[in-house]
Amino acid sequence: MKRRLIIDGTTISLKMDGLTQYILNVVSNIDINALSHFDVKLILNKGCCPDVYLQKIQSKGINIEFVSIPPIGPLRDFKFGLYILMSKNKNDIFYITSNQWPICLRGGIYTVHDLIYEQYPEQLGKFSWLKTKYLRFVTKKGLNYANKVIAVSNYTKHEILKYYPKIKDLAEKVNVIYEGYEHLIEININRSKQLPFVQYLLYVGSSRGHKNLTGLLKAISLIKSSLPFEWGIVFVGDILWMNKEQTDLIQKINLKRKIIHTTGWLSEADLAGLFCKAAAFVFPSLSEGFGIPILESFYYKIPLICSNQTALPEVAGEAALYFNPNNPEDIGNKILFFIENQERLTKELIDKGTERLKLFGWKKATEELLKHINHST
């Protein structure tokens, strides 16, 4: 009887966030022939996976099993424990694709995307101290019990070793596998969306603290009088969750003329259209485990103006105009510098980004992952 490789897709969300993109693209790029000695299964919560990915995954010969396992929390641990207990094959290999390691699981492959809960625990909201302790407990279990740990960047590996220094032989267990971009190829681009600007900078992200939307808004507030009249900034993200400081800053910036245009979350087609027409992409994040939007800017051939913190320089290399995200004045100055030197910097950064993109890919990532899965048996 073949062993089973069970891939955990229970943290997939219908909202196409970075984690969901990672899981779906890793699974849909698996070469099933390289796992001929396994029966491969993806477990999912019903209604959480887009049909297009379901069809793609099933067409590869990967089985789908629908379960009822929450993506996070103690109830997840309980239900995942029941699932493991009821499994008929005790030699199953589990691949846990998110930080949410089931605490009863022993052995398997574990991907850690970031440790932002350690860096910005206040973002967890009410009872953040308790939530942080729980996430720390879950992560520590995974780092201890997994056969192999995948970090999505060298920066993430460094953070794992920094926050969990007492785990034996952890440095040898953690392997770095970068993320990819090929999912963008299949997106139908909608270029028809109308905007109030001739030229614009694009920001895509949430209003959570580590995304540094507040820092970007402060920067724009400082330079608004110097921005050419035909320029603006388009914000794509969860505007309903902006805090009062952020909404007040937007009102202040837009007082005399509209500089900031907010869209809320968009479809992939609409977002791709905005990328294609943007003058540049601005990525002001204070912390990222990898930073897929960097690859998006490279793929759509728009210049990148980027934070110089955490994993971002590791991914972007020389293909970005960098700023200190903790310094709104520096952010603002780099934006103005780009606008003043747009023609030269656009060609230079696009050329470098196109070359840099060749280092990444979902197929490449999956091939590296399968080597670890096969070696763990």
3-state secondary structure of 85: helix
Q: What is the pLDDT of residue 376?
A: 67
Q: How many residues does the chain have?
A: 377
Indicate whether 335 and 236 sit together in one domain.
yes
Quick check: 2 pLDDT over 80?
Answer: no
For helices 18-28 and 362-375, the axis angle rounded to 10 degrees is 70
Q: What does the pLDDT average to over 123-148?
A: 93
Please give the residue range of the domain that contains residue 97: 3-180+361-375
Instruction: Please give the share of the chain, as a percent, with pLDDT higher than 90.
Output: 77
Q: Residue type for 53, please?
A: Y
Cβ contacts of residue 38 below 8 Å, gap of 6+?
2, 3, 4, 5, 93
Indicate whether 270 and 303 sit together in one domain.
yes
What's the total number of domains in the chain?
A: 2
Q: Any idea which residue has 């609409």 for tokens?
A: 270
Indicate whether 243 and 369 sit together in one domain.
no
Q: What does the pLDDT average to over 130-134?
A: 94
When pLDDT is cut at 50, 70 and 90, the band that residue 377 belongs to is low
Indicate whether 95 and 229 sit together in one domain.
no
Q: What does the pLDDT average to over 178-189?
A: 93
Indicate whether 160 and 307 sit together in one domain.
no
Computed over every residue of the chain, the mean pLDDT equals 93
Quick check: 157 pLDDT over 80?
Answer: yes
Q: Are 23 and 111 in contact (CB under 8 A)?
A: no
Q: What does the pLDDT average to over 180-187?
A: 93
Report the alpha-carbon distance of residue 168 to residue 143 in Å, rounded: 10
DSSP secondary structure letters along 255-302: SSS--EEE--S--HHHHHHHHHH-SEEEE--S--SS-HHHHHHHHTT-
Q: What is the pLDDT of residue 125?
A: 83
Q: What does the pLDDT average to over 326-336?
A: 98
Comparison of pLDDT for 315 and 374, the residue scoring more? 315
Indicate whether 189 and 110 sit together in one domain.
no
Q: What does the pLDDT average to over 124-152?
A: 94
Q: Which parts of 137-210 are beta strand (E)? A: 148-151, 174-176, 199-204
CATH of the domain at 22: 3.40.50.2000
Minimal CA–CA distance to 95: which of 147, 49, 134? 147
When pLDDT is cut at 50, 70 and 90, the band that residue 87 belongs to is confident
Q: What is the pLDDT of residue 88?
A: 64
Indicate whether 228 and 342 sit together in one domain.
yes
3-state secondary structure of 109: strand
Q: What is the pLDDT of residue 374?
A: 82
When pLDDT is cut at 50, 70 and 90, the band that residue 127 belongs to is confident
Give pLDDT tens digits for 204-250.
988 888 999 999 999 999 999 999 999 999 999 887 778 899 999 99
Indicate whether 234 and 326 sit together in one domain.
yes
Minimal CA–CA distance to 284: which of 293, 276, 275? 293
Give pLDDT tens digits for 260-287.
999 988 888 999 999 999 999 999 999 9
Indicate whether 337 and 217 sit together in one domain.
yes
Indicate whether 233 and 355 sit together in one domain.
yes
Give residue 109's Cα distance to chain centre. 19
Indicate whether 136 and 194 sit together in one domain.
no
Give pLDDT tens digits for 166-175.
999 999 999 9
Quick check: 309 pLDDT over 80?
Answer: yes
Give pLDDT tens digits for 12-67.
987 778 899 999 999 999 998 888 888 999 999 998 888 888 999 999 999 999 99
Q: What is the pLDDT of residue 17?
A: 82
Indicate whether 246 and 366 sit together in one domain.
no
